[in-house]
Chains A and B, each alone.
Chain A
Amino acid sequence: MAANPVRMPKLGLTMEEGRVVHWPHAPGARVEKGALLVVIETEKAEAEIEATTAGFLRRIYVPEGETVPCGALLAALTDAADEAFDADAFAAQHGAGVATGEGAGAPGGSAPARAGSASSRAGGGAKPRGAAVPGAPAAPAARALARELGIDVAEVPGTGPGGRVTRQDVEAFAAARSEASLAAGAERVVVAPGVALECLRAGSGDPVLLLPGFGVDVSAFAPQAADLAERHAVIGLAPRGVGGSSAPALPRYDVAQAAADALAALDALGVSAPVHVVGASLGAAVALELALAQPKRVRSLSLLTPFARPTPRLAAFADAWARVAAEASADTLARALAPWLFSDALLADDERRERTLRGLAPMLARTPAPALARTTAGLRAWPGVTARTLASLRLPVLVLVAEDDLVAPGGDAIAQAVPGATLVRVAGAGHAVAAEAPEAVTAALRAHFARA
């Protein structure tokens, strides 16, 4: 089952836009291959555009009378009349399109294009900046820096002689992209020379630090953040590689380094009072390292769907996540992750599932594949925490496990190992428990903070 875009064709070298004159079929109708699909008008003449594949006209995006540029999305055809189809997501994915020599040729027919490098999808489809010239020479230092930062050097406009891309050009490109990709309302907090993390703050009161999991940003905690901000100063930190945070250095992003980054962020924000630290999944591993390193700075520890060490399945999951991100669209990645992250209940509910995936995809797009790969390497290298180490924790610890968690099912053992820990089980939720069961998570956190 597939959905195919219909685009405004470019019917000549000088054609720049066209007007939709007439849609002979109503939405939902079946169109045969070769049948008249749409009548358009250019400066010169009217043209009858035929369907190059058969399909059902599921959605018309440009009504009669409107003028759009060549390459713009006009409609969507699906193979089946009733297959699941999200018109908005489809439009977002196929976007306005850019008229190129070949790309905006015949309408319809072609399958949705595979996305290019993850870096160009960051921040909701940002296009390459400036005027990068394909095939322009790049200095070795520029290439080396681009590699480190996970940037495709071909996207960087060069200002050196002959259009050469210099190291400075790569630095400027990375900085501009970070700025552009910063989440609304976020700031950048410097945690090390040349390294800054995207940080969202809300509310006032005792500080709460939110550490999201692998490959996601702080919006994974959106419901909790909003609620807790009523009584706390909530600080949400995106780790290196995510959103507007600096890229992780080669070769890998260690869990201990992420913990050090979080502590440095607290320093930079002037937060000296002990903090309620909340971590989900990999963020929980970071939270554990942070608490073990600097217990005095932690007022309470909340570990959502945590793991004590990277199991083979967990490592393989992260590795697959990084690979799919490198080769496929964010939508496809979200779909691939869905069975791992969510409960049966959510997956069975079509409407809920599709809505969740729609929200998940743009968040996933904010972490480029090279950053995921380095974080995966750091995860694999994490030695984990032993029962003995956990037993040494003298902090109020909440362990929240999800009963349908396929990724990190062994959380109970952590609760057993920590003296005085509170264990909360959430039924009917998968690994992404904060997204699936937001109220239960919020309630558990509030209760835990109150106890601490």
Chain B
Amino acid sequence: MAGRKLSTGQAINEALQIAMQSDPDVIVLGEDVAGGGRRDGEDVDEMGGVLGTTKGLVKAFGPERVRDTPISEMALIGAAVGAAATGLRPVAELMFIDFLGVCLDPLLNQAAKLRYMFGGKARVPLTVRTVTGAGMQAAAQHSQSLYWMTAGIPGLKTVIPSNPADAKGLLLAAIRDDDPVIFCEPKGILNLVDEVPEGDYEVPLGRAKIVRAGSDLSLVGMGATVRIALAAAEQLAKQGVEAEVLDLRSLAPLDEEAILATLEKTGHLVVIDESTPRCSIASDVAALCVDRGFDFLNAPVKRVTAPHAPVPFSHPLEQAYMPSVPRVLEAVRELGIG
């Protein structure tokens, strides 16, 4: 490993390169994923996506396999679903998950249902990459975390890495999975730089990971909130409270056993979720704890989420909107520890 570091965006790029090299059926499509490059044989420096994540792919694999689409999520996702159902392994980019509404039907009623309704005779090995979350002042229509919606649709898988290494491994696993997978890229971690192993490896779908062991309290995070949980854990350690941090990594399937195991160990659980609170992953985790982990609960389950409101554009308001270390520490205080 030798400590080679990449940003999350770069790690995702590397995963796409590896996937496309190892399987000729893997194609990439989306709005500006190539971005004006390699047209008519010219060696034009391409944009590689609005955040540069797919830079270099069209040069390496050509315009047949790396396709710019019109600005129509319905068209591009619909085409991706059809391509997947007829033998390709497409990686479609839904630029921001906020645009889910425009292409919900092909995901909800086609991609999620075809395998089931055709009695297993159809496969939809589709991956949808999509940026989630707030923190870049992209305002209400470009900052949402709607993964709770896709996680609630049977037939879709939803994953969300918290760091570059997991982003690479989860994306490779998602592309190679034969079911439709929504791969979330939280804005909060896109510029995070950390060690990424070289070569081809996968992080299994449906498995959470303990990223910090502790015995007094469980902090459950996903995507950008894992770092908040770790920072809160450091603060708590100074007060003698040892927090265990669980990185969910997969929202559907949800690693229920891991959640119950950490609850059983500590008796106290706080779940930190960037999204709005109603029908959220945070609420799902809390319900699981109360339903199947009732006798482990030494205190209520606390959910630290965004408020039930659109994401503000104003920087200080946006910062107040997002889950933060002080809000986590406050929730922990309400539990009666720390």
Q: When each residue 281-304 of chain B gets 1 if its CB lies under 8 Å from chain A and 0 otherwise, what string results? A: 000000000000011111100000
Q: Which residue of chain B is the closest to A160 with respect to CB atoms?
A: B336
- A141-B267, A161-B336 are known contacts. Are A166 and B295 too (CB-CB below 8 A)? no
Complex Cα spacing A226 to B300, Å:
54
Q: Does B200 contact A (CB under 8 A)?
A: no
Interface set, chain B 236-292, CB cutoff 8 A to A: 267
Contact check: which of B297, B334, B335, B336 meets A140 at CB < 8 Å?
B297
Q: Which residue of chain B is the closest to A144 with respect to CB atoms?
A: B295
Q: Which residue of chain A is the closest to B294 with respect to CB atoms?
A: A140
Q: Does A142 contact B (CB under 8 A)?
A: yes
- Asked if A139 contacts B298 (CB within 8 A), the reply is yes
A353 proximity list for chain B (CB < 8 A)? none
A164 proximity list for chain B (CB < 8 A)? 299, 336
Q: Does A380 contact B (CB under 8 A)?
A: no
Total A-B contacts with CB atoms under 8 angstroms apart: 32
Interface set, chain A 157-173, CB cutoff 8 A to B: 160-161, 164, 166-168
Complex Cα spacing A167 to B335, Å:
13
In whole Å, how far is A151's beta carbon from the nearest beta carbon of chain B?
15
- Asked if B336 contacts A166 (CB within 8 A), the reply is yes
Most A-side CB within 10 Å, residue of B295, B297, B335: B295
B299 proximity list for chain A (CB < 8 A)? 139, 160-161, 164, 166
Q: When each residue 80-110 of chain B gets 1 if its CB lies under 8 Å from chain A and 0 otherwise, what string results? A: 0000000000000000000000000000000
In whole Å, how far is A98's beta carbon from the nearest beta carbon of chain B?
31
In whole Å, how far is B64's beta carbon from the nearest beta carbon of chain A?
59
A139 proximity list for chain B (CB < 8 A)? 267, 297-299
A166 proximity list for chain B (CB < 8 A)? 298-299, 336
B298 proximity list for chain A (CB < 8 A)? 139-142, 160, 166-168
In whole Å, how far is A156's beta carbon from the nearest beta carbon of chain B?
13
Complex Cα spacing A168 to B299, Å:
11
B295 proximity list for chain A (CB < 8 A)? 140-141, 143-144
- Asked if A161 contacts B296 (CB within 8 A), the reply is no
Interface set, chain A 132-153, CB cutoff 8 A to B: 139-144
| Chain B binding surface SS class | loop
Complex Cα spacing A144 to B335, Å:
19
B294 proximity list for chain A (CB < 8 A)? 140
In whole Å, how far is A71's beta carbon from the nearest beta carbon of chain B?
36
A141 proximity list for chain B (CB < 8 A)? 267, 295-298
- A139-B297, A140-B295, A141-B296 are known contacts. Are A167 and B267 too (CB-CB below 8 A)? yes
How many chain B residues have a CB neighbour from A under 8 Å?
Answer: 10
| Chain A binding surface SS class | helix
A144 proximity list for chain B (CB < 8 A)? 295
Complex Cα spacing A167 to B297, Å:
9
Q: When each residue 158-192 of chain A gets 1 if its CB lies under 8 Å from chain B and 0 otherwise, what string results? A: 00110010111000000000000000000000000
How many chain A residues have a CB neighbour from B under 8 Å?
Answer: 12
Complex Cα spacing A143 to B295, Å:
8
In whole Å, how far is B205's beta carbon from the nearest beta carbon of chain A?
32
Interface set, chain B 290-338, CB cutoff 8 A to A: 294-299, 334-336
A140 proximity list for chain B (CB < 8 A)? 294-298
In whole Å, how far is A166's beta carbon from the nearest beta carbon of chain B?
5
In whole Å, how far is B36's beta carbon from the nearest beta carbon of chain A?
59
Complex Cα spacing A50 to B296, Å:
55
Complex Cα spacing A298 to B231, Å:
59
Q: Which residue of chain B is the closest to A147 with respect to CB atoms?
A: B295
Q: Which residue of chain B is the closest to A170 with respect to CB atoms?
A: B298
- Asked if A161 contacts B334 (CB within 8 A), the reply is yes
A161 proximity list for chain B (CB < 8 A)? 299, 334-336
Q: Which residue of chain B is the closest to A168 with respect to CB atoms?
A: B298
Complex Cα spacing A160 to B296, Å:
16
Most A-side CB within 10 Å, residue of B297, B298, B299: B298
Complex Cα spacing A115 to B297, Å:
32
Q: When each residue 328-350 of chain A gets 1 if its CB lies under 8 Å from chain B and 0 otherwise, what string results? A: 00000000000000000000000
B296 proximity list for chain A (CB < 8 A)? 140-141
B267 proximity list for chain A (CB < 8 A)? 139, 141, 167
Complex Cα spacing A139 to B268, Å:
11
Complex Cα spacing A355 to B222, Å:
70
Complex Cα spacing A164 to B299, Å:
9
In whole Å, how far is B293's beta carbon from the nearest beta carbon of chain A?
9
A160 proximity list for chain B (CB < 8 A)? 298-299, 336
Complex Cα spacing A140 to B298, Å:
6
Complex Cα spacing A142 to B294, Å:
11
Q: Which residue of chain B is the closest to A139 with respect to CB atoms?
A: B298
In whole Å, how far is A26's beta carbon from the nearest beta carbon of chain B?
60
B297 proximity list for chain A (CB < 8 A)? 139-141
Complex Cα spacing A142 to B299, Å:
9
A167 proximity list for chain B (CB < 8 A)? 267, 298
Complex Cα spacing A337 to B296, Å:
40
Complex Cα spacing A167 to B216, Å:
12
Q: When each residue 21-54 of chain B gets 1 if its CB lies under 8 Å from chain A and 0 otherwise, what string results? A: 0000000000000000000000000000000000
Q: Which residue of chain A is the closest to B290 with respect to CB atoms?
A: A140
Q: Which residue of chain A is the closest to B296 with respect to CB atoms?
A: A141
Q: When each residue 55-97 of chain B gets 1 if its CB lies under 8 Å from chain A and 0 otherwise, what string results? A: 0000000000000000000000000000000000000000000
Q: Which residue of chain A is the closest to B295 with respect to CB atoms?
A: A144
B334 proximity list for chain A (CB < 8 A)? 161
Q: Which residue of chain B is the closest to A148 with respect to CB atoms?
A: B295
A142 proximity list for chain B (CB < 8 A)? 298
Complex Cα spacing A185 to B297, Å:
39
In whole Å, how far is A337's beta carbon from the nearest beta carbon of chain B?
35
Complex Cα spacing A167 to B263, Å:
13
Q: Which residue of chain A is the closest to B297 with respect to CB atoms?
A: A140
In whole Å, how far is B269's beta carbon from the nearest beta carbon of chain A?
11
Q: Which residue of chain B is the closest to A167 with respect to CB atoms?
A: B298
Complex Cα spacing A143 to B267, Å:
13
In whole Å, how far is B331's beta carbon from the nearest beta carbon of chain A?
12
Most B-side CB within 10 Å, residue of A140, A142, A161, A166: A140
Extra inter-chain contacts (13) besides given A140-B294, A141-B267, A143-B295, CB under 8 Å: A139-B267, A139-B298, A140-B296, A142-B298, A160-B298, A160-B336, A161-B335, A161-B336, A164-B299, A164-B336, A166-B336, A167-B267, A168-B298
- Counting from the closest, the 7 A-B pairs by CB-CB distance are A144-B295, A141-B298, A161-B336, A140-B297, A160-B336, A139-B298, A167-B298
A-B contact list, 26 entries, CB within 8 Å: A139-B267, A139-B297, A139-B298, A139-B299, A140-B294, A140-B297, A140-B298, A141-B267, A141-B295, A141-B297, A141-B298, A142-B298, A144-B295, A160-B299, A160-B336, A161-B299, A161-B334, A161-B335, A161-B336, A164-B299, A164-B336, A166-B299, A166-B336, A167-B267, A167-B298, A168-B298
